[in-house]
Every structure is written in structure tokens, then in C-alpha cells.
A and B are shown apart, each in its own frame.
Chain A
């Protein structure tokens, strides 16, 4: 993963997390605010509804009191025969806007009933049992009607005439008509459960249009209020169809639970508002994330561009192009880094040049030292021979011929030695390019072993070849590789002056081949290993120090690799990998 991708990923996560947190916190706060406002609204509406309910109660009380206050009721209280008045309640109820009205004698006998005229003479035993009906105001009561039992909101007024009494019981049936006449705020509806049976009865849950069709959702709320008659609120349904219901227990004059009034407030507007907010939030969040990603893309590109340039420049430096510089586009940390990079590469170039210069000087010095050393060895015998020849001619002319003959042989030998030295240097300078062709390395090793058999025998060195029969041919210059093997064998012979074992080994690599030349000589120190392939470096008292340099040069020309493994006193192994 690139630095830019990583950075972009971090930016993306940061943007998404930030936007998500802001959206979550924002929408949560907003939802809470709306929920609070909705709760307040519903509470206000419920209070308004209760006021309306109380107003209806007061209206009933006023109507009943109005009837009780009439002279006709006083006359009726004093009457001895109620028969002519058996139908009075109907007209009185109609005149005072009451759905239910009963005129009841002091002994509880019904004189006239608007809701059930045929009930005259029947007893309302609950009436004489209480004195202060007026203090109750309007209250709930189970009312028996021709069609069955129902729930009514009634008020009782008493007309007293001497020792005679007349009760006026008037009210309204709590039915769908009553609910439909309630003035309800928009978005609200009133439901009534008439608790007339021991168990929940779905037909007794009504609204202004009749029995409520779907009672399953409301049943638990009703049953809860029946079990524990307290005002309770609960939200039923889901989504836009959800409603918050406030359940108000309705009790009768004996404090028995006769009904449950359910005031429903639709949550549609709130849900739609929340949905709108959610949609807006998602759109804003998506826009924010897209904007954030675009900005992150731009920012990462802007931030990583100089870094990428630095990385590119570092790659160039690593590949050897030390003159690489980075454009400095800013004064920030990246600019300082670029400036440091430029300074570093500049110093690297300078140091390399200084090092090259130093190495060149050192190489020249080493070359001069070697040349001086190599040339001094044959020059000194030349000088001595010439001086001996001069001294013999002056002091011993009779022996001059003999001395001249021996001297000239010595001079020729040393001159040949000088020529050989110069030839080696010349060979190193003129290393030819390898002519690659398939070469059987096992054959090369065998030829080299055979070539050095006499010399190895003279040096009391046992030669051993461990050749891999599965070795494949490899592209190489056979002559140069033979020269490599010879140099390594010669080095091994020099490393074992007391004799030892020389092992030449081949093995197949995948791909390529490996050649190993091992001796059991005195070995090399780590420092010697490090400098072994440096031109003109040698651990021997004789030699030009060019042998292993030539070996390394040839192997390098073959795109191969040479290494040495050695410990002092445990011999050394030169390892050449070709074609890998």
C-alpha cells in the first residue's frame, strides 16, 4: 500500500467518522428536541381534551340542575300520583340537550325515563343511599338501556319538598356520538373502552365511528390501566402509523373503574419530520463525505507529491545516479527534507569523488609500490650482474668471459621476468569482453585438474573433484573461465605450502551452476576476505595482487557472483555462481 493510499485511507476514515459522529450527535439531539416538543404538545392537547371533558361534565351538571330548579319538578316532588308524568323525562331531556334523563321518586322508583320509558316504577336503589350527590358533579355510571348495558356520564340533582324528595338523574351516554361531539385538536382522536365485562371485550373499545377495528395493539394498554388504574402513556404502532396514547382511567361514584379513555396523538408529523431530517442528514453526510474524499484526494496528492519525488530521487540515488536532486517547492518540513536530501546527495557526490580520488591515489601508490617492488626485484640482480661484469673485466679479465656468459644469462632471465611482469599488468588492463557460448563446467574443472596434476603432486596436494552429474551447460567464455579456475587453483596451491587437499566442486542451481574451489590451507582473516578482490592486494610475498582481481573481473563480466568463505587455520572456499 502506497503512502498516498494509506494517507487517503486515514483521511477517508477520519472524514467518515467525523461526519458520522456529527450526523449521529446532530440527529440525536434534534430527535430529542422534537420528541420533547412532541411530548409537550401531546401533554397540552391532553390537558385541552381533559378541559373539554370537564366542560362537558359541567354542562351536564348545569342541565340537570336547571331541570331540578324548575317549578315543574317541585310540583312533581309534591305530587301523589306520578302516572301523568311518566313521559315527562323525554321532553325534558330533549329540551335540555341530555341523552339520558330519569325522574326518580324519593323511594327510588322511576317516575319517568327518557332513555327507557317502559322502566317506570322500577327501582334505582343506588340513589337513596347517598345524600350529597351534588358534591360529586358529573360521574360515570353503568347504565342499563333497552339495547344493553352502556357507560354514561351522569349527574344527580335532588329536589326536596318537605319530607318528599325527587331525584333527577341526567347525563349522556358515552358512545360514539358523545366522542364525535368532543372538540379535539387536529391529529388527535379519542377512544373509549367501556369496562362493562370482566374480561377485555373488543366491541367495547369505540371511537367516534363505532367499534375500533384493530384492538390488538391497544388491548395491552387497556388491560394495564384496568389492572392498575393510573394515567399511562404508551406509543403503539410503527413508523408513520404510530400513535401515542394517553390512557385515563374513568371511575364511577364508588371509585370503581368503569372505563378507560384513550387519547391518541398521531406521531405521523413527527415521524415525517424525523424522516425528513434523516434524509437531509444522509444527503448532507454523503455530500460531506464526498467533499471530504475529494479534499483528501487533493490534499494527499499535494502532500505526497514531494514525498514521491523524494522517493523517486532516492531510488535514482540507489541506482547510482548520485547527481539526482529534488525540487524544493515549499519551506515546510517536506521542503526541509528535500533540501537535506539535495545536500546529502551533493555531499555523497563530493564524498564519492573524494573517495574515488583517494582510491585513485591509493591505487596509483599501490601500483607504484607494486611496480617498484616488482621491478626492483629483477633490477637489483641486473645491477649486481652488470657491476660483477664490470669488476671482472677490470680485476679478473681472464674470468670475464665466464662471468659475462653467466651474467648475460642472468640479465636475460631477469629481463624476461620484467617482461612477464609488464605483460601481467598489460593483461589486466586489456581484459577482453567474454565470448559467451554453452560451456560444460564439469569439463572445465576436469581439464584444470589434469593440467595441474604434476604441480599438485610436487606440492603434496591431494586433488579431489566433486562434480554434479546433473549440471547443465551454462553460457560462459570457456577460455576466461579456465583462466579463473587456474588462478584459483594456483592461489590454493600457494595457500598450502605444506601440502593439503584441493577440492573442486560443481553443483546445479536453479537456475545456473555453482563452482567451488576449496583448500585446506591456513585460511584468511575477515579483513583479508574483505580486501581479497582489491587489485594489487596480496597476502603473498610474491605476485602482483592481480590474480583474484582478474577472477572477480571475469566473473563480473559473466553477470555472476564470487564470494569467499574462510576462517584462519581452516582453509578457504571460493564460490562462483553463474547464470543465476
Chain B
């Protein structure tokens, strides 16, 4: 009897072929062809072949029998793009999706026992100035933002507070960059600036970041800065970029490039890297705020995994679906 039960348990946990993995993400990737680089959909090309591409809406991949690592267990992966968080949560609850992307702040709202895959904090949330010439205003805004309150409440303690471009887990020196708020100093700096300079527009191109922007506006107001939120084209932008390499010497230039900063000199040592990053942040052209992980909620049907790496790359070739194919 016991042997029978153990055999059944082993059979249930044993990988098997078949089934379609249904994935929903918030991002909507536009283009005639699917992207080839970066985490997410491009990672599927390692073991799958794209069979259907609907720009901004849907991508279907089927298992590549000739994949370098062997044929994946899944027959196919069906990715739906541009799905709001709420719809994704419903789809997951009703069994219409197997993997959905969630915000770090939503982790604590997930029902008990829900399987969560999270990367390391690889997404950098930062304020980037492109038209504000008065450094006092930039520094005032940097000092006004109450990162701790945002981290505690809006991010629900997920990710990291950061004043650095590279996350602590990657560089090891991020804690050296100040990330605390100093409202009196921020007020003094703002008051010293001309009144016209105290009025700023903040563009938030990623709607997911809007809830952060609202709090930043409130903090800025406390410092005497009038900040209004616009959709695009403002002198101050709240944006997100990501670490694309586990090598900090390669990650820093990539982040600097994505933020419009000058390319830092090649750093061979952590000290040099620190110096290069410090130089990039001089003048408050970029105000790093947080490093956040990629987080996915996963259906219990999905076996194997985790399906993502610390850098947030998709590794679905080793996943299988419960009851996928007898």
C-alpha cells in the first residue's frame, strides 16, 4: 500500500511532456517582429519557435524539438501582452492563465500558498532630469522624496531603497549612496531657486509607476516645488530601467546608456566602479529611487522551475504542466 502511494507521488512529480503554458504580462510589446534581446519573450527563443505574433497583443511559441538543451516539456507557450494587473489576477484565479506578472507591492496581497517567483531587484526606478538646469532644484527634489515611506507602504517592503544605479546585491557598495530624505534642506534649496524654476512637470510614461509619481509630487510640494504629472515630454521623467547583466562592470554602462547618462570609464575594480557610478550621479541628473524585482504569480499547475533567473530571464524549457499530456 505504502509502495503504491509513493509510486503515485513520484509519478505526479515526474516531468512529462505536453500542454500549453499561458503567460500574461503587463507590458505591451509593439513591433512587426518579436524582440530578440532582453529578458522575457526573447528568452523563449532558446527552446521555442515563434509561430504567431500579434504586435502588442499576443505571441505563441511552440516547442523546438532541436533545441540545444533538448526539447522542452511544454508543447507551447501562449503569451498575452498588455494585460492589466487586475485582469491577470482574475485570470490566474479562474485558471485561465498559468503565470502572471505582478507588482512587488501586490506580493503581500496574494492568497496564502500562492507560488511566487521573484528575481533579484533588477529594475531601477529613477528620476531623470533632462531640462532642469538649476542643480538646487534637482537636489531639492532628491532630498524631498521620502523613499522610506514609499518603500514601506506603496512597495509593501519589496525591493530595495537605493540611491545607486546598481543594486546592492550586484555592486556591494550601493548603501554608500545616500537615499534618505532631508526635507528642511530640500526646502532651503528650493527657496533659494527662482520661483519660476520651482514649477516642474513630471512625465510618467509607464502607467505602473503612476502611484509612485503621485507620492513624489506630494513630497515635492512639501519642499516647495510645484510638480505636475504629464504623460510625456517633461523635463523630469520617472522611468524604469533594468540590470541586464550579472557583471556590474557591464551593467553600469548599460544602465547609464538607458538613462541618457555619459558612458562611464571601464572599471576593473569595485573602487573604480564606485567612482564611476558616483561620477555619473554627480549633479543629480539622475536620482535613483528603488531597485525592484520582477515578480510572477504562478498557478499550482505549473511544475518545475523556478521559471525565472535572478536577472529576471524566462527559463520555461524545464517547466511542465500538471496533466499536460498523458
By size class, the interface of chain B is: 10 to 19
Stretch binding the partner chain, chosen from B20-28, B72-80, B149-157, B193-201 = B149-157
Name the contact of A83 in the complex, choosing from B146, B156, B214, B217 (C-beta under 8 A). B156
**Provided the pairs A120-B149, A121-B149 are in contact, do residues A86 and B154 lie with their beta carbons within 8 angstroms?**
yes
Instruction: For B218, give the chain A residue with the smallest CB separation.
Output: A118
Residues of chain B touching chain A, judged by Cβ–Cβ distance below 8 Å, are: 108-109, 146, 149, 152-154, 156-157, 211, 214-215, 217-218
Instruction: For A122, give the chain B residue with the smallest CB separation.
Output: B218
Instruction: Give bound CA distance, A121 to B157, whole Å.
Output: 15
> Cβ of B153 and Cβ of A86 under 8 Å apart?
yes
Instruction: For A83, give the chain B residue with the smallest CB separation.
Output: B153
**Provided the pairs A83-B152, A84-B108 are in contact, do residues A118 and B157 lie with their beta carbons within 8 angstroms?**
no
Min CB distance B111 to A, Å, is: 14
A31 within 8 A of B: no
Min CB distance A89 to B, Å, is: 13
Nearest 6 interchain pairs by C-beta? A118-B214, A118-B215, A86-B153, A83-B153, A118-B218, A121-B149
Min CB distance B38 to A, Å, is: 31
> Cβ of B218 and Cβ of A83 under 8 Å apart?
no
Instruction: Give bound CA distance, A247 to B156, whole Å.
Output: 49
Residues from chain B with Cβ under 8 Å of A122 in the complex: 218
Instruction: Give bound CA distance, A118 to B154, whole Å.
Output: 9
Instruction: Give bound CA distance, A84 to B214, whole Å.
Output: 18
A119 within 8 A of B: yes
> Cβ of B215 and Cβ of A84 under 8 Å apart?
no
Instruction: Give bound CA distance, A217 to B157, whole Å.
Output: 56
**Provided the pairs A120-B149, A121-B149 are in contact, do residues A83 and B157 lie with their beta carbons within 8 angstroms?**
yes
Within A80-95, the residues touching B (CB, 8 Å) are 82-84, 86
Residues of chain A touching chain B, judged by Cβ–Cβ distance below 8 Å, are: 82-84, 86, 116-122, 146
> Cβ of B157 and Cβ of A117 under 8 Å apart?
no
Residues from chain A with Cβ under 8 Å of B157 in the complex: 83
Min CB distance B109 to A, Å, is: 8
Instruction: Give bound CA distance, A218 to B304, whole Å.
Output: 73
**Provided the pairs A83-B152, A84-B156 are in contact, do residues A118 and B217 lie with their beta carbons within 8 angstroms?**
yes
Min CB distance B238 to A, Å, is: 13
Instruction: For B229, give the chain A residue with the smallest CB separation.
Output: A146
* 5 pairs, CB–CB < 8 Å, chain A vs chain B: A84-B108, A86-B154, A116-B214, A120-B153, A121-B146
Instruction: Give bound CA distance, A86 to B108, whole Å.
Output: 12
Instruction: For B157, give the chain A residue with the smallest CB separation.
Output: A83
Residues from chain B with Cβ under 8 Å of A146 in the complex: 214, 217
> Cβ of B214 and Cβ of A117 under 8 Å apart?
yes
Residues from chain B with Cβ under 8 Å of A86 in the complex: 153-154
Residues from chain B with Cβ under 8 Å of A117 in the complex: 211, 214
> Cβ of A121 and Cβ of B153 under 8 Å apart?
yes
Sample of 10 more A-B contacts, CB < 8 Å, known A82-B153, A121-B146:
A83-B157, A84-B109, A117-B211, A118-B211, A118-B214, A118-B215, A118-B218, A120-B149, A121-B149, A146-B214
Instruction: Give bound CA distance, A505 to B131, whole Å.
Output: 131
Min CB distance A112 to B, Å, is: 9
Instruction: Give bound CA distance, A119 to B219, whole Å.
Output: 9
Residues from chain B with Cβ under 8 Å of A119 in the complex: 218
Min CB distance B90 to A, Å, is: 15
Instruction: Give bound CA distance, A521 to B71, whole Å.
Output: 180
Residues from chain A with Cβ under 8 Å of B214 in the complex: 116-118, 146
Instruction: Give bound CA distance, A122 to B215, whole Å.
Output: 11
Instruction: Give bound CA distance, A86 to B152, whole Å.
Output: 10
Min CB distance A233 to B, Å, is: 42
Residues from chain A with Cβ under 8 Å of B108 in the complex: 84
Min CB distance B114 to A, Å, is: 15
Min CB distance A425 to B, Å, is: 140
Instruction: For B148, give the chain A residue with the smallest CB separation.
Output: A121
Instruction: Give bound CA distance, A146 to B109, whole Å.
Output: 27
Tell me which of A86, A117, A118, A146 has the highest count of chain B C-beta atoms within 10 A of its own C-beta: A118
Instruction: For B216, give the chain A residue with the smallest CB separation.
Output: A118
Residues from chain B with Cβ under 8 Å of A82 in the complex: 153
Instruction: Give bound CA distance, A84 to B108, whole Å.
Output: 8
Residues from chain B with Cβ under 8 Å of A84 in the complex: 108-109, 156
Instruction: Give bound CA distance, A86 to B153, whole Å.
Output: 7
Instruction: Give bound CA distance, A217 to B236, whole Å.
Output: 45
Instruction: Give bound CA distance, A336 to B68, whole Å.
Output: 147
Instruction: Give bound CA distance, A121 to B217, whole Å.
Output: 15
Instruction: Give bound CA distance, A120 to B152, whole Å.
Output: 11
Instruction: For B214, give the chain A residue with the smallest CB separation.
Output: A118
Instruction: Give bound CA distance, A82 to B156, whole Å.
Output: 10
Residues from chain A with Cβ under 8 Å of B218 in the complex: 116, 118-119, 122
Residues from chain A with Cβ under 8 Å of B154 in the complex: 86
Min CB distance A412 to B, Å, is: 158
Instruction: For B228, give the chain A residue with the smallest CB separation.
Output: A146
Min CB distance A29 to B, Å, is: 63
Residues from chain A with Cβ under 8 Å of B217 in the complex: 118, 146
Instruction: Give bound CA distance, A16 to B157, whole Å.
Output: 94
Instruction: For A111, give the chain B residue with the smallest CB separation.
Output: B153
Instruction: Give bound CA distance, A118 to B209, whole Å.
Output: 12
Instruction: For A85, give the chain B residue with the smallest CB separation.
Output: B153
Residues from chain A with Cβ under 8 Å of B156 in the complex: 83-84
Min CB distance B7 to A, Å, is: 43
Min CB distance A125 to B, Å, is: 15
Instruction: For B219, give the chain A residue with the smallest CB separation.
Output: A118
Min CB distance B313 to A, Å, is: 30
Min CB distance A295 to B, Å, is: 82
Instruction: Give bound CA distance, A117 to B212, whole Å.
Output: 10
Min CB distance A108 to B, Å, is: 16
Min CB distance B44 to A, Å, is: 34
Instruction: For A119, give the chain B residue with the smallest CB separation.
Output: B218
Instruction: Give bound CA distance, A500 to B153, whole Å.
Output: 154
Instruction: Give bound CA distance, A119 to B153, whole Å.
Output: 11
Instruction: Give bound CA distance, A146 to B214, whole Å.
Output: 9
Min CB distance B27 to A, Å, is: 23
Residues from chain B with Cβ under 8 Å of A116 in the complex: 214, 218
Min CB distance A121 to B, Å, is: 5
Instruction: Give bound CA distance, A320 to B246, whole Å.
Output: 150
Instruction: Give bound CA distance, A119 to B215, whole Å.
Output: 7
Instruction: Give bound CA distance, A441 to B109, whole Å.
Output: 149
Residues from chain A with Cβ under 8 Å of B149 in the complex: 120-121
Instruction: Give bound CA distance, A119 to B108, whole Å.
Output: 21
Instruction: For A86, give the chain B residue with the smallest CB separation.
Output: B153
Residues from chain B with Cβ under 8 Å of A118 in the complex: 211, 214-215, 217-218
Residues from chain A with Cβ under 8 Å of B153 in the complex: 82-83, 86, 120-121
Residues from chain A with Cβ under 8 Å of B109 in the complex: 84
Tell me which of A82, A119, A122, A146 has the highest count of chain B C-beta atoms within 10 A of its own C-beta: A146
Instruction: Give bound CA distance, A122 to B221, whole Å.
Output: 13
Instruction: For B222, give the chain A residue with the smallest CB separation.
Output: A122
Instruction: Give bound CA distance, A419 to B217, whole Å.
Output: 156
Residues from chain A with Cβ under 8 Å of B211 in the complex: 117-118
